[in-house]
Amino acid sequence: MYRIGIDVGGTFTDLVAIDDFGKVTLGKTPSTPVDQSIGVMNGLVQVAETLGLSLADLLATTDRIVHGTTVATNTLLERNGPKIALLTTEGHRDVLEMREGLKPERYNLRLARPEALIPRHLCLGVRERIKADGKIDIPLDQASLDKAIRVLKREKIVSVAVCYLHAYRDGRHEQATREALAKALPDLHVCISSEVLPQIKEYERVSTTVVNAYVAPILARYLSRLEDALKTAGYGGPVLIILSHGGIAPIAEAIRMAAATVLSGPAGGVSGARHAAGLIGMGDLIPFDMGGTSTDISLIVDGQATLANDRRIANERIALPSLDIVTLGAGGGSIARVRAGGLLEVGPQSAGAMPGPACYGNGGAEATVTDASMVLGYLDPDNFLGGRAKLDKAAADAALDRLGRELGIDGVRAAEGVHRVVNTQMAEGVRLATVRRGVDPRRFALLAFGGAAGLHGTELARQLNLGRVVVPRIASVLSAWGMLATELRLEITRTHIGDTANLDIAAINKLYAEMEAEGESRLRGWFDGAIHSLRSADMRYGEQIFEIDVPLDQVDFAAPDLLAQIKGAFERRHEALYTYSLEDQDPVLVNARVATIGALPALPEEPLVEASAPIAPSGQRRIYLDGWLDAPIFDFDRLAAGQSVTGPALIVSETTNVLLRQGDVATTTPLGWLDIQVPI
Amino acid sequence: MSDVDPITASVIQHRLVAVAEEMGEAMLRTSYSQIMNSSRDFSTAICGPEGRLVSQAEHIPVHVGALPWAVKAVVEFFGDDVHQGDVFLLNDPYHGGSHLPDLTAFVPVFAGDRLIFWTVNRAHHSDIGGATHGAYNATATEIWQEGLRVPPIRLYEKGEIRADLMQLLTINVRLAKDFQGDLAAQIGSVRLGERRLEALMEEFTPDVVVDAVEVILNSAEQQARGVISSWQDGVYHGVAVLDDDGRGNDDIAIRAKVTIEGSDLEIDLSESDYEVTSFVNSSHANMQSGVAMALAFLLDPETPKNDGSFRPVKVVAREGSIVWAKPGAPVTLSTSHCAQEIIEAIVRALAPACPDRAMAGWGRRFRIAIKGDDPRNGQPFIWHMFHARPGAGASSGGDGWHGSGEWHSTGGLKFGSIEIVETRFPLYFRRHEYRANSGGSGRYTGGAGVDLDLEVETATPCKVNAAGDGARHGAAGMLGGEDGAPHRYLLRAPGKRPRVLRTKEEGIEVPVGAVFEIHSAGGGGWGPPGEREQAAKDYDRRNGYTTKSGGKSSKAKA
């Protein structure tokens, strides 16, 4: 049987099929943005052909498909979702547009005001009010609800978010509203905040529920189309969607929590990195995914990915737990320019896919990072993407010469300068991303993947003082591969505010037990294997505004000193993040969290690369590394296990180029990966 | 010109900015009080040995232009008596500080025995002693009533803490534990900056770094001059008017005379009104910061904000005026008011010279703090209002942002969740929505202020303090745009006539069952209202930002 991972990216759709013996088959086809399912089906045909099977035969012998989709993300970025509305507590209809009073860019006072996902006239106040203590101050008023329903009808609203104040502690008004809406407008898509994110803080809850209402109809249409196409082609197994928190869930659940799919794409990369950490026995990794327009950085600590609740996508706040990924606005397509003051700047403008870097020959004239790589000899103009594309070296030379003239230096020095500046920017980005999470980057290894990471990885490591860079053999499809190594996951949250000293032990136990039971019964609906739960809590000191996520796995809930144990768990976490804790203060518990997890069978082990005699270089190229020199070129896919290559050298495959600088030593692992020691 | 190549200078510039940012991150992670780790009221920077601003992290605009003056005060007092391992501290507005709650920590960074940099951290402490909690004392008539004054002192001598000095500080503040925790975070932050800069100099050699700094500052100067020289030469005048000083003086004027000659700018504030007896006076450093902010807002966001970009400006002012008070005058409100009026006067003056850049006025600050007992647990509470933010000014970029705050923080201050406030305090937010017709009309309309109905649910009377401005004068309209509606705060108590809150009052009695009815100010409009597109007007009407009865008459009533 096969299991197939499918990652739909902006340019390419990547597929990975793994058979029972661990053999990996790759597929790569152009993405089809208008209907992503076409690209997916094309990719499946390609994989079937590679395996010498018909599509029907491949699908008949496939028992699991895991899919990462950018449909929700693109809907948000391109603002092409349906017409939606918000029903909220009367007197509070501007929560969404207020953004808690924040505006980005301190020194840009001419920044245009963004348009909220819902215009104000479709943010409809409904007369009702529940107070902080749960008391109903104003019962849900039928007349004002009817008035709102008339607006929804008149405006032909497709999807609606319902979010009332304090609904995290009592969802009855939201439920009654949903019932009334179902009766009056049976086709309306309704999301209520007490289901999407039942936790305190109205801006986060409103915004998350609104995003959910906005992307759900589009995601539903796409996924049902894909499901039909797969069924028609002969597939009878489950289609699982990877969510922003890195776990997977069936289609119906992904649609219900559509806002939880906005990081579905990069989540695969982080899952791949987590799986990689296990395979190479290195628990602390910095996954470094450098693409065309941006670079994603995350952290694997002790083999685990970290989660955050403070995501913004396309300016919209989504407060669901999601993988903690930092995106830098620099990649291979970033444009280098000389500022008015005469200094070099790389990005944030990017040449994108069209026209792309000058060397793509699509009319781009400005120098990009990729053009600089071309000028320095790191890329082979005749053998890009396995020879499927040719690059225009003369165009790259001309672009860098122009840049050099502005700087008063020659084109090669300008190209070297572009690399130095972009490497500095990325190194500082990694440093800030790690410092922000309270860890020192030096004990980590860099896991370099994505199109451009291999050319920059070892220099970045040098600047960060870290001595190890790992490049997976499947670097270009790590995301699709990683999706197959994840587990089913459901996140459940309840707000339960109280000082740890005064919490009722029985009530806490009851709360967590109920949440676990709920998670288990929901997961049981689509899974019959073993289920386990992880407990955690969002906590803070009284005067702080931001909570931290405190794992409670090590806490014994049956023990009489439960509260002291919870306090201790908080203090350890606070110390790790902020270097101190305050033992004489009682922290406040704000939200209780349970992650319900269903583990899928482990992936079959990949066959090892055969140990054989080291291979010789396939050629050599003139490259610039502090001066021109001849560097040997090695074929990544043919390197023998245990073979060492010392820089300067280039290691190339169809989709990955790795640059070894002077002193770098790459050793091929039994899996055929590169394990590079960087002298620091 | 130095022989450092432009690539190396670019790399070092990125590193210097990243060091300032890392200092800020360290501060955020280790600071203790809510005002720092949540509201982020602190700033970090790197200065040259003589105080020139080399790089900064984007935090609170009103801090940054003032930091060089703080470094200069330390250098002036200690001269060459500065050593590795020393940590210096100050807050006194008459010794390089802005106002007393802002404490600034400095570490000198050496290469061998040569002083190359200062790392600097300024942070707003929640209390600094004095007559009232939190330093905003509307009744203060002299600085000694505002809090503890700290002239430049050496808190650590060659790595050793001077415990006697530390005790002198902590004994004079109300929340000694918060104070010490935040101060420790500040010192950790400047020391981290020191380590990073030492590593940078080791990598590139001190000479290359020093030369690169010259290239970086010259480059920023060139960028700033490029912008200024595109403005029309001439002499321009602008006035901004404070409501009052809270002690009987109304309409206090800040006057800016701005001369543009090529790429040079002279900003002359010496015709501003005399200093007053209350805390709206500005210190010298705060005045310099106001000027720097005005320029920073008018330049491109991409121009680095460092000594180079401020070089084209010459500042002229008169000691004894509202923008530069004589030693001893109270100044605590000045980082809001009159710093914002200094910006407003300069932008007003320059508007005809660079109309596309001149943004209309942002709303003024009007803070209240409620003090009482929580009937649910019998505990005393103090609640500072950050809700009901005023509207932002419109500009050539479009309409002002609704409810995004004041010129001194430009959308950087966050208000907390209403659900959290209601859970933690005996307060009930009946309404918190945009205030219709509050943004100044114009081709682009000012951002709306906010209406807030806030019921106090205590069993015993409370007290409220007010500190701010802008209940009489709205945010400035620009280039034909109209002013935004001013603030209007009412206190309604059962069986009593509504009482209008003044912006500078102390200890107002709040009876049981009272409701604050708050209407915060709108931002100023930009360009003549007659040029506003019909579609934009329809949009405002349809969405209730304006109403049929709106416009001037209701603004006057509101």
DSSP string, A12-71: EEEEEEE-TT--EEEEEEE--TT-HHHHHHHHHHHHHHHHT--HHHHHHTEEEEEEE--H
Q: Give the residue from B2, B5, B11 with the most A CB atoms within 10 Å of its CB, the best one to mutate.
A: B11
Say what the pTM is. Answer: 0.92
B420 to A494, B376, B429: CA distances (angstroms) = 15, 15, 11
Our CA-based measurement puts residue A275 at a distance from the nearest CA of chain B, in whole angstroms, of: 30
Residue numbers in B near A407 (CB within 8 A): 6-7
Q: Specify the 3-state DSSP secondary structure of B487.
A: coil
What is the structure's pLDDT at A39? 93
Domain range list for chain A: 81-210, 488-598
Tell me which amino acid residue A660 is: L
Our CA-based measurement puts residue B71 at a distance from the nearest CA of chain A, in whole angstroms, of: 23
User: What separation, in Å, do the N-terminal and C-terminal C-alpha atoms of chain B show?
Assistant: 59
Cβ of A437 under 8 Å from any chain B Cβ?
no
∠ CA(B155), CA(B160), CA(B166), 5° rounding?
35
Q: Which of residues 12-51 of B touch A (CB under 8 A)?
A: 13-15, 18, 21-22, 25-26, 29-30, 33-34, 37-38
Q: Indicate the residue of A342, A425, A543 with minimum beta-carbon distance to B34.
A: A543
Cβ of A605 under 8 Å from any chain B Cβ?
no
Residues with Cβ within 8 Å of residue A103, at least 6 apart in sequence: A111, B392, B401, B404, B405, B410, B411, B412
Averaged over successive runs of 10 residues, the pLDDT of chain B (558 residues) comes to 81 93 86 70 93 88 88 96 97 95 97 97 91 86 96 97 96 88 92 94 96 96 95 98 95 98 98 96 95 93 91 97 97 95 98 96 94 92 91 97 91 88 95 98 98 98 95 97 98 95 94 97 98 97 89 39
The secondary structure of B322-354 as a DSSP string is TTBPPTT---GGGGTTTHHHHHHHHHHHHTTTS
Domain range holding B69?
Answer: 6-219
Our CA-based measurement puts residue A134 at a distance from the nearest CA of chain B, in whole angstroms, of: 10
b/e sequence B505-529, b meaning 16+ C-beta within 10 Å: ebebebbeebbbbbbbbbbbbbbeb
The residue of chain B nearest to residue A582, with distances taken between CA atoms, is: B32
Residue numbers in B near A97 (CB within 8 A): 402, 434
Structure tokens at A678: 């960087």
Q: Indicate the residue of A342, A497, A544 with minimum beta-carbon distance to B6.
A: A342
Structure tokens at B416: 């907390």
B155, B184, B219: which is the final residue of a domain? B219
The secondary structure of B387-441 as a DSSP string is -SPPPPPPBTTBSPPTT--BTTTTT-PPPPPHHHHHHHSSEEEEEEEE-TT-SPP
Residue numbers in B near A202 (CB within 8 A): 417-419
What is the structure's pLDDT at B1? 45
Q: Give the residue from B41, B354, B423 with the most A CB atoms within 10 Å of its CB, the best one to mutate.
A: B423
Contact state of B7 with A345 under an 8 Å Cβ cutoff: no
What is the structure's pLDDT at A386? 65
Contact state of A101 with B215 under an 8 Å Cβ cutoff: no
Structure tokens at A74: 């693109």
Residue numbers in B near A204 (CB within 8 A): 417
Find out whether the peptide bond into A679 is cis, omega within 30 degrees of 0. no
What is the structure's pLDDT at B412? 83
Task: Say if residue B19 is in the same domain as residue B168.
Answer: yes
Q: Indicate the residue of A111, A204, A545 with minimum beta-carbon distance to B397.
A: A111
Domain count, chain B: 2
Our CA-based measurement puts residue B320 at a distance from the nearest CA of chain A, in whole angstroms, of: 31
Contact state of A166 with B419 under an 8 Å Cβ cutoff: yes
Topology of A81-210 in CATH?
Dna Topoisomerase Vi A Subunit; Chain: A, domain 2 (3.40.1360)
Q: Indicate the residue of B219, B305, B450 with minimum beta-carbon distance to A341.
A: B219
Task: Please state, in angstroms and rounded to a whole number, the distance separating the CA atoms of residues B330 and B332.
Answer: 6
* More confidently predicted of B302 and A414: A414
Q: Which of residues 200-219 of B touch A (CB under 8 A)?
A: 215-216, 218-219
Q: Give the residue from A106, A117, A135, A164 with the most B CB atoms within 10 Å of its CB, the best one to mutate.
A: A106
| pLDDT tens figures, A4-60 | 999 987 777 889 999 999 898 989 888 888 889 999 999 999 999 999 999 999 999
What is the structure's pLDDT at B558? 33
- The distance of Cα A310 from the centroid of its chain, to the nearest Å, equals 13
Residue numbers in A near B26 (CB within 8 A): 435
B193, B219, B245: which is the final residue of a domain? B219
Question: Is pLDDT of A510 > 60?
Answer: yes
Task: Please state, in angstroms and rounded to a whole number, the distance separating the CA atoms of residues A57 and A17.
Answer: 14
What is the structure's pLDDT at A545? 66
Contact state of B405 with A101 under an 8 Å Cβ cutoff: yes
Q: Give the residue from B2, B7, B22 with the most A CB atoms within 10 Å of its CB, the best one to mutate.
A: B7
Task: Please state, in angstroms and rounded to a whole number, the distance separating the CA atoms of residues A95 and A124.
Answer: 12
Contact state of B410 with A431 under an 8 Å Cβ cutoff: no
Cβ of A121 under 8 Å from any chain B Cβ?
yes
Task: Report if residue B230 sits inside a domain.
Answer: no
Contact state of A200 with B393 under an 8 Å Cβ cutoff: no
Cβ of A154 under 8 Å from any chain B Cβ?
no
Please report the ipTM that was assigned to this predicted complex.
0.92
Contact state of A106 with B545 under an 8 Å Cβ cutoff: no
Closest by CA position to B385, among listed B438, B436, B439, B432? B432
Q: Indicate the residue of B38, B297, B304 with minimum beta-carbon distance to A109.
A: B297
Find out whether the peptide bond into B338 is cis, omega within 30 degrees of 0. yes
What is the structure's pLDDT at B556? 35
What is the CB neighbour count within 10 angstroms for residue A608?
12
Q: Specify the 3-state DSSP secondary structure of B45.
A: strand
Cβ of A132 under 8 Å from any chain B Cβ?
yes
B219, B247, B272: which is the final residue of a domain? B219
Contact state of B10 with A417 under an 8 Å Cβ cutoff: yes
What is the structure's pLDDT at B233? 97
Task: Report if residue B252 sits inside a domain.
Answer: no
Our CA-based measurement puts residue B142 at a distance from the nearest CA of chain A, in whole angstroms, of: 32
Residue numbers in B near A166 (CB within 8 A): 419, 422
User: A109 exposed, middle or buried (CB, 10 Å; 0-12, 13-18, 19+)?
Assistant: buried
Q: Indicate the residue of A94, A107, A110 with minimum beta-carbon distance to B305.
A: A107
Residue numbers in B near A497 (CB within 8 A): 423
CATH 3.10.450 fits A488-598, yes or no: no
